[in-house]
Amino acid sequence: MRLEDILYSQGFGTRRSCAGLIETGVVDVLDASGNWQVAGADDSAVDEYPAEGLRFRVQGQEWVSYTKAYIMLHKPAGTECSQKPSAHPSIFSLLPAPLRLRPHKGGALGVQAVGRLDQDTTGLLLLSDDGQFIHRMSSPKKHVAKVYEVTTKHPLSEDQVQQLLAGVVLDDDPVLVKAAAAQRVSTHHLRLTLTEGKYHQVKRMLAAVSNRVESLHRSQIGYLKLPMDLLPGQWRYLSEHELLQVQSR
């Protein structure tokens, strides 16, 4: 694959602007010997590069090319999972421009959030430009488990935990909503596992058992746990093993 096409696919602008980056000498490519070479510096430069796994630098910043991007983000409080936020900064402002500009057939640019977390909710958030992956992870029919750490206003009783497991009614919806798992970690800490996603679901479920959410943190999706060393506001690509973990029920 031509290098300018790889840069374009990774979100570095139009093909013309990507060709311009190469011509001005700000793109380096890691060769088979493990040495960085300025792209296009001489006539012996490689014409074709692998579309997947190419290590390159643009203006000194290192990247790896991926045909599809799968990203985990530690969402901080006070951010919205929208590209057009209404009252708080967007989570997309935490990502570098190329991830926001990756072209794909769907029309919309860049990676998209896989589901949403409320602005005051923290924790594990996935983003991708793979439409099938987004649908598979977001669809309630797939029953992908999501684990939440809930701090409650009032002490938790065993009866409240059992109600959450048996099912509660949210507002005037007659269909019972059940937790896949619920563990009383301490008097005010509940570990709640859900396999569907409704609007403000955790908050409404706690309200249905006469309690209240004081803080909410998503710690796990599928078998993928939020790494301890990924701090609020930080992101990174999923490894192949992590991608398998997140897709396992």
Residues taking part in catalysis? 118
| Max Cα-Cα span within the chain | 75
Q: 62-66 — which CB contacts under 8 Å span 24+ positions?
A: 63/10, 63/98, 64/237, 65/6, 65/9, 65/10, 66/10, 66/237
Residue 107 corresponds to which tokens in the numbers above? Answer: 């029309």
Q: Where are the alpha helices (DSSP H) in the chain?
A: 3-9, 15-23, 97-101, 131-138, 158-166, 201-208, 240-247
Q: Indicate the pairing of strand 70-75 with strand 235-237.
A: antiparallel
